[in-house]
Each structure stands twice: as structure tokens, then as C-alpha cells.
Amino acid sequence: MNDEEKHKYRSAGWFGKRDKDGFVHRSWMRGWPTDVFDGRPVIGICNTWSELTPCNAHFRDLANVVKRGVWEAGGFPLEFPVTSTGETNMRPTAMLFRNLVSMDVEESIRANPIDGVVLMCGCDKTTPALVMGAASCDVPAIVVSGGPMLNGKFCGQDIGSGTAVWRFSEEVKAGVMSLERFMDAETSMSRSTGTCMVMGTASTMASIVEALGLTLPQSAAIPAVDSRRSVLAHLAGRRIVEMVRDDQRPSRILTREAFENAIRVSGAVGGSTNGVIHLLAIAGRVGINVTLDDWDRLGRDVPTLLDLMPSGRYLMEDFYYAGGLPAVIRAMGEHGLIHRDAVTANGRTIWENCQDAPNWNAEVIRPFDRPLIEQGGIAVLRGNLAPDGAVLKPSAASPRLMRHVGRAIVFESIEHYYERIADPDLDADENCVLVLKNCGPRGYPGMPEVGNLGLPPKVLQRGVTDMVRISDARMSGTAYGTVVLHVCPEATVGGTLALVRDGDLIELDVGARRLNLEVSEEELQRRRAAWRPPEPSMRGGYQELYLQHVQQANTGADFDFLRGCRGHAVPRESH
């Protein structure tokens, strides 16, 4: 290593000094031979391992594999933990903590001698949070996704994470499935480490970051326990060292073209509505103006090629064996739907990575002339009920409800919904529209995944499986139904949603992208004058910071003070 390289990297501001400060930085590290401080790139392994995040429970082993690659390429790996957000255990909702984790990631990188970072991502919020944090400080970064679980197996059938739970629990309520059989399904669904193996939010985000170019090819779909997941982690460890040497930062990968590729890929794989919020937030961190309208415009002509639950039949394990995301990107690129020159983490363009990718199973990755859904993507609805937008995933909705007028049944909160939904006197039929308020970013708070409200039992018992549902909440990526989500502005800040009353007529027209409350403007003004915001459920601490600074879903529900480019992390003097 020559003298120029010795002082080339950010970490030299800590380890490269021959003075008291350098002594302190090196001496306290303990146990390393002195030559690891010789100016080689220091690679942070940003780990979201936690036993409370079972989807990421294999990350200690995976991080060790990454380190092997870092050492081989001449780097010095140092693993550090950040707050982990386990989707299934955190209350009130893991989304409340996404921005907090992103701050943890950003400040951990800024504060420490890190030249490049490997982001160990898995469960839903861990991927956007880590990417947002790394993008904000713009040091070279590569994502290693943890990979999906093996297919669930129950009574001779494949069952998907979450998707099967929603279906089975409706069947229990409808009296079609016994509670004992329901409990049996519990251990059959999650058969290995890894993330949900449907095209839920974790798989959507793993696909989005691969399409953005932040991973090595095939990162999204290799099962967590497949030996090729280890190979990928090993290679990512080698690659991040080269990325530091080439100064290949997120701002050089996260271009407008990369975001457009990611939006289209999300449509082609049948991605979760949560991907909309997270991608908007990531774009906000690098100052790229991606909007809800981009999602609608770019997704409209993208067919959903992937036949995966919850929209289709197969699971992530099948997706990998069929060819994985490169096969989807190749098909899209051949139809002019990919910016081919977008640069990816391995230094090659997305087209160089994918142009020869084989499709081994045209039932799983369907051809353009036989897609699962002609027009995939996300529909962005507007109207007096959602002047700043709302989203709906057409591929998960019922065709018969895509144009519908119905009478509102209103729930003022999720607690009100639970109190009221099973009431035998509830005046409900299959044409009604279920409306849930106060579950947006500032409501609840944290925008929980409760938008796919279960249907009233009295309607379910008549064999009805879908109704129009509208809320300012999110929905699990594993869920399905004719569900309008992310209504903006949310009810808690006085959006029109706050003014809806039982019996009001609501018009949904997905083709025309319209969502209207059929109540006169004079009547709405009367209701608005009488409206009072709900009292926050908690004061002080992180939740107070969250309430003061969280923005609406149409820009990604990020904190106002975290958006925009705050600059490349550079070392500061220690004191």
C-alpha cells in the first residue's frame, strides 16, 4: 500500500494519525494486528440481527460470511448493530420506527471510521430504513438481503406467509375452517429462517433494491437457507471493498432512471403498496423528485409477469428456481420498460447484468403475451376524498368492485372497528364501503397495516369475500382485496376522510382514478367547522418527535428534517 492510498479513505481520519488521537482510536479497538490500520478500507457491516426480528435471525452467520469476502478483498470489516424492526412483534407498528432506524444507521456511519457499508436487510422496514440512512450520508453501500423463507407446506399444499393467515382466519369466522386446523397451519407456514415468501413488503423491497442497483444480481429471491445466499453475501463482501476504492456512492446509483426502473419492476412483480411509501422516502433522501403520479404513470403499461401470492399462485422459492429478478428485468428490457444504462453495485449496468438471464419456468415468470395481469402497477386515486392521493393495488382487488358506489360504514378508529364489526345489528351488506379513520402517519400513530379490514361476519357468512375498504392506513403486502390505502391528507390532520359519516355515498372508479365522497361542498364545510382533531394517545419521547415531524404518505412519511441531501460523510476531529 502506497502513501497515497494510506490516507485516501475517510477512516484515515481516525486510524491513520500518528498522535494521541490515533493512539486512542487504535488502542481501544483491541486484539487486531496493527496492519489492519494500515489504510485499508474499513467496511461497516450494518446488522439488523435480533431474536425479536425472526426474519433476520440468521444475520449473525450471514454477516460472518460477508466478512470473509471483505478480508479477501483487502478490507477491514467491523460489524455494528442498529435497531431492528420485527414486523410481527413491534407495537403499535414497526412503521413508527422506520425513520428512527434510518437515523440510527446514518449517525452510526457518520460518527464512526467507516468507508463503506454492507446493509444487512430483511424484514419489511429494515430494508428501507437502512437504505435511507446510508443514502443520507452517501458512503459506498451495498445491500445484502436475507432472502425469503422456504415455501410453506400445509395439507399437501403450498401456503404463503401472511396470505394464508388472512384467508384461514376469514374461513374460521365464516365457519368453514375449525380452530384446531387453523392452529395446525401455524407451524407449517414458517419452515425456515428468512422473510415472508410471498410478494409481500419484504420481497417487494428486496426486489426494489435489486432493481435500483443497490445489490448484486439475484439478491431478492435466493432462499435464506440456500447455499447460494451465502455465496452472494461472500461476493458482496468482496465487492464493497472495490466500491470504496472506486468511490461508488449511493448518489451515483440512485438516479432518476434507477427509481423509474424500480417502479416498473414493482409493477412487474406485483409489488406491495408499501413499496410506494418506502421508495418515495428513499428518493427524498437523495433529492430525486419521485411522486405518486410517477407510480401511476410508469406502472400503467407494466403487466404483472410474476404469478406469485398474494396476487397469483407461486412463492419466492419458485421465483428463484424460475430465474429470479434478472429474468423479469430481461423481459421488461426487451419490451422497452427498463433504462438499460442504469449502473448497479457490481459496476455493470442493469442490462449487462440481466440481458442473458434465462427464464426456466414460464408459469412462474409469465411471458408478456400471457401475463398474470395486463396492467399491474399501483393505481393512484384522487378526488375530494383524497385530494393529495390514495393508492390501490388493482392486481389484488376484485374486478367487479373496480367501479363502485356504496354506502359508507364508518369506524372512527381501529378500536371502534373492533367494537362494532361483529355487531349482529350492524347495517351492512356486500355493497357497503368500510371506512377507517385515524390510522395514517400521525393517527394511531405510525400508519399501521390495518387497511385490509376483515369483513363483517354477517356478510362473510353469506359467502362474500371482498368489499371496498378505504382508509389512511397501510396494508400488509401479504394481503389482498379492493382496498384503498394511504388516503391523503389523513383524517387526523383534518383531511376529508375525517368528515365521512355513516350512510354517505362514496364513488370508487379505478379506471378513471377517482375517489369521491358524494356530499355537497356546503355540507362538508359545516362538518369541517365542527371537526376537532383527536387527542394524541401518547406524549413525550420519540413519539412526540415523530408527531411533530412526520410528513404525509404521499411523500413517503419521512421526517421533514431528514429529506434532501445532507452531504457525503466526512471525518470530524475528535474532542
Enumerate binding residues for ligand FES (CB under 6 A).
55, 87-88, 123-124, 161, 195-196, 200, 202
CA distance 332 to 326: 10
Closer CB to ligand FES, 124 or 307, in the complex: 124
Closer CB to ligand FES, 383 or 477, in the complex: 477
Q: Are 309 and 159 in contact (CB under 8 A)?
A: no
CA distance 490 to 497: 7
Least Å distance, CB 452 to ligand FES, is 15
23, burial (CB in 10 Å: exposed 0-12, middle 13-18, buried 19+) = exposed
Least Å distance, CB 123 to ligand FES, is 3
Least Å distance, CB 131 to ligand FES, is 16
CA distance 126 to 97: 10
What is the β-pairing status of strands 403-411 and 505-509? antiparallel
Least Å distance, CB 209 to ligand FES, is 14
Least Å distance, CB 92 to ligand FES, is 16
CA distance 525 to 367: 51
CB atoms within 10 A of CB 525: 11
Q: Are 207 and 270 in contact (CB under 8 A)?
A: no
Least Å distance, CB 159 to ligand FES, is 14
Closer CB to ligand FES, 124 or 210, in the complex: 124
Buried-state track 79-96, b at ≥16 Cβ within 10 A, e below 16: beebbbbbbeebebbbbb
Least Å distance, CB 190 to ligand FES, is 9
Closer CB to ligand FES, 306 or 487, in the complex: 306
Closer CB to ligand FES, 195 or 218, in the complex: 195
Cα Rg of the chain (Å, integer): 24
Closer CB to ligand FES, 202 or 216, in the complex: 202
Give how far Cα 165 sits from Cα of 7, 91, 152, 181, 185, Å.
55, 19, 12, 12, 9
Least Å distance, CB 146 to ligand FES, is 9
Closer CB to ligand FES, 87 or 318, in the complex: 87
Closer CB to ligand FES, 128 or 200, in the complex: 200
Which is nearest to 36 in space by CA: 18, 20, 12? 12
CA distance 386 to 425: 30
User: Percent helix, strand and coil across the chain, each rounded to 5?
Assistant: 40, 15, 45
Helix ranges restricted to H, 190-255 = 201-212, 227-245, 250-253
Least Å distance, CB 196 to ligand FES, is 3
465, burial (CB in 10 Å: exposed 0-12, middle 13-18, buried 19+) = middle
Least Å distance, CB 125 to ligand FES, is 9
CA distance 467 to 397: 9
Least Å distance, CB 388 to ligand FES, is 28
CB atoms within 10 A of CB 29: 15
CA distance 573 to 12: 11
CA distance 272 to 482: 14
